[in-house]
Amino acid sequence: MKNTYRILVSLAALIIITISAHAVTHIEFETAIQFVKENGAIMAAAPVLVSPNITKELIDQLKVKHGKLKIITVVVEAPVYDIDQLTSVQTANLRILGIDPEIVSNSELPIEDRLKQLERLKEFRDDSSKLELLQTLTCLEGKILEDGEQYQFLVKRPDRGLIKMLLPLAQSGKIDDFAEKGVKNLVVGGDMEALDDGIVFMGVVSQLKQMIAPAQAFLSKA
């Protein structure tokens, strides 16, 4: 809830600035707010790698150049997974095995948390008494049935120079400047063409603000 609130606050400020530049219409403003309300938790979660524009090779190359990287995900429309809807038999069998089916099938939770529950099925592979139960659950793999619409970006960790440049912009509410300089200096790979989409751009900016929030909190306490 706290993450979602911070995202909404930062996006509200960004949208106000952007409207003054005639980049976002009133209808898009309402759409953006609704989008963030529905996807705030997903946007703040650690992502599964889904973008074809981000490969292990690219990550390794960029790590050599930039050091530590973070993958951020902006979900415009959530994908549909094979575990979103469980049968009554699968639900019952998961409960027998001590696995919470409510977590497994909860599409509002990060997919990583849902898959962690399924990983516990491995504990019963050698248990012949559980074989019949497992046969009804082997098809649950967390596969994407419908792609939805989501975008991913590789972001480098800001050094001291970038913190000094970006933090005052965030603190003073100069969100437009923060957005342009933050994206330009921190986003190093991923679905770059999608940044032309206002919703995607705002989603990235909100997460960049969260990245520098620890530095802001530290300085505020100093």
- Paired tokens of 158: 């800001």
Q: How far is CA 204 from CA 47, 108, 127, 164, in A?
A: 13, 20, 46, 20
Mean of per-residue pLDDT scores for the chain? 79
Selection from 197, 211, 207, 210 nearest residue 31 by Cα:
197
Which residue range(s) make up the domain with 46? 2-78+147-221
Same domain, 170 and 64: yes
Domain end among 146, 172, 199? 146
Q: Which of 146, 172, 198 is the last residue of a domain?
A: 146
- Predicted pLDDT of residue 216: 54
Q: Are both 163 and 131 inside the same structural domain?
A: no
Domain shared by 192 and 138, yes or no: no
Q: Per residue in 85-135, pLDDT tens? A: 999 999 999 999 999 999 999 988 888 899 999 999 999 988 999 999 999
- Model confidence at 182: pLDDT above 50: yes
